[in-house]
Structure 1
Amino acid sequence: MEVVYQKWTAGSSGCKVLGEVGPNKAKGKDSHWNLSSLCTSSSGHVYKGRGCRQGRRVIVATGPAIDQAPVIATDTDPLTKDHLIQYFLSGCKPKHNWRIGTEHEKFGFEFKTLRPINYKQISSLLDGIAARFDWQKIIEGDNIIGLKNANQSISLEPGGQFELSGTPLKTLHQTCDEINSHLYQAKTVAEEMGIGFLGLGFQPKWKLEDIPRVPKVRYNILQNYLHKFGAPGFESLFMTCSVQVNLDFSSEADMIKKMRASLALQPLTAALFANSPFKEGLPNGYLSIRSQRVAQVDKRRTGMLPFVFYDNFGFEKYVDYALDVPMLFVYRKNKYIDCGDMSFRDFMAGKLPAIPGQMPTLADWENHLTTIFPEVRLKRYMEMRGADGCPVDMLCALPAFWVGLLYDEVSLQNVLDMIADWTPEDIQNLRNKVPITGLRTPLQGRLLQHIAEDVLKWAKDGLDRRCLNESVFLDPLKEVVGTGLTQADKLLEMYNNKWGNKIDPVFRERCY
């Protein structure tokens, strides 16, 4: 039995004992990890002597490309695989420095016509928010593409979806205050323009050709790339909205546990937050068509990452995965350059035809990571990506759910114990069925609704142990789990009865 140490941040003293690593005791298949046990690194060991360095935190999922990344390798050093592993290690933080970052998207629409707002209206909206509330404009060419204020940013998705990427904050009260402040600012300007915001996971009325296009070069490249995946690719790009929470880890072992727990529970999250039952004015046959459409797009860069559940998973294996995901672009001299489906591994070998002879930097690596879209995405923090866009109270419920589970050791271990005999195949099957059947989806003889009862209790217990009076933010989920009715179920009931099979009332029902 080996005692494993992990050095903390620069300037701290000594090392922290992470735990003891012994032989794997896998259940079932030899390659499947016993999820309730202590996790090792990708090679069966923790990277001893590699310090977990704190650095700046950058939320870049939909923002401008990055010119500089944390300094792990110098500009003159060839980028190596070890540098890429160190990049993830640099995100490790002691628990007292863990924060909560939220991102949420919403559709803008005209009150009079219910049509999506066009880019000219979006541009005026951003100008108005910048002028009235002291945000800095983000410009690409001659076009405004977002706003920045300290560690917050407002960015645009390809179809004009309006997104807040929030500041990493310490408590859920601060997180919910930030969400409400953002909505107040956005609505103050938008309502004067006759514009509202819609909290749904999928555009409910209009066709793909009715959706505006945001003039961002990287989106042109992404659009051209997704052309090969047909309608689901374009719809996932232009017609969906999601909400996500970004959370920290303390070490590689902590990351492994959180990745496994959160990936296994992403289908449950998709069920709890299902809120996209309409398409082109009619029920679409799904409770979450957003979730279904995302699952159909380029399985090399989306999905449930089954390798996370194998016994050799760690930072190195995630690096191996990301190295082979096709690149979309490189960013040079303020220009995006299409990479023509080559991999980052090719780039590191100097084989990128778009920029012959050039070698990658860590900024290239960080940009590449933003073009990978699994259900849980690893950067120097972890992004939970499984939830539909939703009403404002549900926006606060998502971070509450994940903080209660992942930032509390007892609750996290409860989840790991529960999923210890779930195979990657079980989890994938659950992911496939949830967009249609939601909380009524069966797993190992139980309905997902009943599993959700246990998980929600653990989330509440985890929040209560933080002693910050945060469990109130779980109240909307208590109703969903108690009744078994998701937001999508409620919308369908209103559509079939109160609304007389008309879609227009959803714009009033789900307007922020």
Structure 2
Amino acid sequence: MSTRDTSSSEDPIIESRDQLVAPMAGGEKPKDAWRIGTEHEKLVYCRKTFKAPSYDEPGGIRDILLSLREFGWEPVEEGGKVIAMRGDDGTVSLEPAGQLELSGAPLENLHETCAETGRHLDQVKQVGERFGVGFLGLGMWPDKTREDLPIMPKGRYDIMLRHMPRVGSLGLDMMLRTCTIQVNLDYSSEADMAHKFRTSLALQPLATALFANSPFTEGKPNGYLSYRSHIWSDTDPHRTGMLPFVFEDGFGYERWVDYMLDVPMYFVFRDGKYIDAAGLSFRDFLDGRLSVLPGEKPTQSDWWDHLSTAFPEVRLKSFLEMRGADGGPWSRICALPAFWVGLLYEQSSLDAAWDLVKDWTVEEREDLRNSVPKLALDAPIPGGGTLRDLAKQVLPIARSGLAKRARLNSSGDNETGFLETLDEIVASGRVPAQVLLNRYHGEWGEDISRVYKYSF
């Protein structure tokens, strides 16, 4: 989740609709300025006990963060507590139960973003060796209850933890027990944004299937391949889902603003503290009628904060966020941006991908999204066949897009190699969760602690 940037002193009051549209419209970039931002989370555990370390304990999350200073990272504090580290490779931040996230820098090509991932994992491994901790690349804690997990000292998390049980039964699991890989991508215009949004939203279930990696809950198989994806179906219906309006004629920035104004608030940040505004209306805030700040109107930063509190399968801010994938190891961290860049950053590939899904109805898209957490690549698709069949069409389109980009590394290789992990998954028909389940029922002897041998 987002780490608030308080570095700017300019924070104008929102007085017009244009200011609400500005973040999205301001994200437009010419194609040669498009970048790739990759975010990935990992579970942190003590190697001797497998428990999740707390924030304050010796060798815990705070010490892990601060130890990154030796690699050039600088602390970010909230209320006197270090909650993130900033550096040339982006931001290392905390999820609610101490999951460690790298929000990578905006980079020009996949060679750079994969090298960034490698640097980050090497750094945290070095720190982990010092403190006796390891890092696990899964979509969800395989063995921990909610009560087993620590809470990190971020004000927005306190508010969300109180609010989640009011709006869904699994929101606390989303916050405390899950990990994801995300990719942030650019657009050139409102029309380009809409085209990319529709295509990626329709295909998000395919990404969920390919990266499905959360088959265990509290030490046992949970009946799902991506339980992390299932969790989102009962987290908060006001801020999640497949967003049917994105596929309607005329969708653009204005319609996104309307959607975000209908998303209930979580908080307002004032004087270094988060004020609980959970469930209140941003429309009331615009009118100076927010009950927790009577008479005040929102600033630009308040709107930016609010834009970070919706969690659909694809999210728009000043870029598009692909949000459907479970957490995983290094090779799959590199594969997710390859998948989406290949599909979305070359016009011919974008058009070809859209042609595959453009005739799906709202109900068909919803049915597919709902079946994927259990069935993954075996989920039926509209018109017949399965997601595995669709993947056999989509991956060559992504490969073609990457080849046309012709971004080469020092050895002369283009970016298509980063898709090989996904090619192998589709060829085998087994997603990562199925591989883990086979091991659990076979060589692991149903001992879930064996999963920790497959850490980063």
TM range (shorter): over 0.9
1:151 Cα offset (Å):
5.7
| Structure 2 residue 61 is matched with structure 1 residue 122 | yes
Query: AA paired with 1:92?
Result: E
* Counterpart for residue 496 of structure 1: 441
Q: 1:112 is matched with which residue: 28, 39, 48?
A: 48
CA shift for structure 1 position 320:
0.2
CA contact (8 A) 1:99 1:169 kept: yes
* Secondary structure of 1:504 counterpart: helix
AA aligned to 1:506 is V
CA deviations over 1:414-472 (Å, ceiling 9, x no partner): 01111121112111110000000000011121111010110001000000001121000
Per-residue CA deviations over 1:348-377 (Å, capped at 9, x if unaligned) read: 111101111111111110000111111101
CA-based RMSD: 1.3
Which of 320, 323, 338 pairs up with 1:382?
A: 320
Aligned partner letter, 2:64: L
1:244 pairs with 2:182: yes
- The answer to whether the 8 Å contact 2:169/2:234 transfers is no
Q: How far apart, CA to CA, are the structure 1 residues paired with 2:234 and 2:416?
A: 35
Identify which of 24, 29, 43 aligns with 1:88.
24
Q: Is the 8 A contact 2:79 2:273 kept in 1?
A: no
Q: Render the CA deviation track for 1:37-70: whole Å, top value 9, x for unaligned.
A: xxxxxxxxxxxxxxxxxxxxxxxx421355759x
Contact 1:273 1:486 (C-alpha < 8 Å) held by counterparts = yes
User: In the superposition, relative to structure 1, how do residues 346 and 360 fare at CA in structure 2: closer, same or farther (>3 Å)?
Assistant: same
Q: 387, 391, 400: which is aligned to 1:461?
A: 400
The reply to whether residue 63 of structure 1 matches residue 34 of structure 2 is no
Partner of 1:168, secondary structure, is: coil
CA drift at 1:78? 4.6
Counterpart of 2:451?
A: 506
- Preserved contact between residue 138 and residue 213 of structure 2 (Cα < 8 Å): yes
Q: How does 1:147-296 map to 2 (within 5 A)?
A: 147-150=85-88, 152-229=90-167, 231-296=169-234
Instruction: Tell me, in whole angstroms, the C-alpha distance in 1 between the residues paired with 2:350 and 2:6.
Output: 33
Instruction: Tell me the CA shift for residue 333 of structure 1.
Output: 1.4
Measure the CA separation in 2 of the matches of 1:457 and 1:424: 26
Partner of 2:248: 310
Give distance in 2, aligned partners of 1:209 and 1:257: 43
Distance 2:299 2:66 in 1: 34
What is the rounded CA distance, in whole Å, between the counterparts of 2:140 and 2:236 in structure 1? 19
- The 5 A counterparts of 1:450-489 are 450-468=389-407, 469-489=414-434
State whether residues 110 and 117 of structure 1, in contact with CA within 8 Å, keep that contact through their aligned partners in structure 2: yes
2:266·2:279 contact (CA, 8 Å) conserved in 1? Answer: yes
Q: Give the Cα–Cα distance (whole angstroms) in 1 for the partners of residues 393 and 354 of structure 2.
A: 13
For residues 46-61 of structure 1, what are the structure 2 equivalents within 5 Å?
61=1
Structure 1 runs (4+) greater than 4 angstroms displaced:
65-69
What letter matches 1:113 in structure 2? T
Aligned to 2:35: 99
Extract unaligned runs of 5+ from structure 1: 1-60
Q: Is the contact made by 1:65 and 1:367 (CA closer than 8 Å) also made in structure 2?
A: no
CA distance in 2, matches of 1:144, 1:86: 31
Aligned counterpart in structure 2 of residue 448 of structure 1, from 387, 395, 412: 387
- AA of the residue aligned to 2:148: D
Distance 2:14 2:157 in 1: 29
In the alignment, structure 2 segments of 5+ residues that lack a partner are 408-413
| Number of residue equivalences | 446
TM-score by length of 1: 0.85
State the shift of 1:140 in Å. Answer: 1.3
Letter in 1 for 2:170: P
CA positional deviation for 1:79? 2.3
Relative distance call for 1:65 and 1:220 in structure 2 (3 A) is farther
| Identity between Structure 1 and Structure 2 (%) | 49
Q: Give the counterpart letter for 1:126 in structure 2.
A: L
Structure 1 residue 409 displacement after superposition: 0.4
- Deviation (angstroms), 1:230: 5.2
For the residue of structure 2 that corresponds to 1:205, the secondary structure is: coil
Contact 1:85 1:315 in 2 (8 A): yes
2:63 maps to amino acid: S
Residue 395 in 1 paired to residue 333 in 2? yes
Deviation at 1:183, TM superposition (A): 0.5
Checking the alignment, whether the CA contact within 8 Å between 1:229 and 1:297 is kept in structure 2 is yes
How far apart in 2 are the matches of 1:67 and 1:128? 23
Aligned equivalents of 1:142 and 1:227: distance in 2? Answer: 29
Shift of 1:133: 1.0
Match of 1:32 in 2: none
Contact 2:14 2:300 survives alignment (8 Å): no
Cα distance in structure 2, aligned partners of 1:341 and 1:109: 34
In the TM superposition, residue 340 of structure 1 has moved relative to its aligned partner by: 3.9
1:62–1:157 Cα contact (<8 Å) kept? no
3-state SS in 1 of match to 2:249: coil
Any idea what the Cα deviations from partners look like across 1:123-178, whole Å, max 9, x if unmatched? 11111112x11211111123111101146100000011000000000010000000
Q: CA 1:234 to 1:441, structure 2 compared with 1: closer, same or farther past 3 Å?
A: same
**3-state SS of 2:102 partner:** strand
Q: Which residue of 2 aligns with 1:45?
A: none
Contact 1:404 1:463 in 2 (8 A): yes
- Find the aligned partners of 2:110 and 2:337 in 1 and give their Cα distance: 7
Residue 134 of structure 1 corresponds to which residue in structure 2? 72
Alpha-carbon distance in structure 1 between the residues aligned to 2:140 and 2:14? 43
Q: Which whole-Å CA distance do the structure 2 matches of 1:391 and 1:78 have between them?
A: 42
CA deviation after TM superposition for structure 1 residue 192, in Å: 1.3
User: Highest Rg: 1 or 2?
Assistant: 1
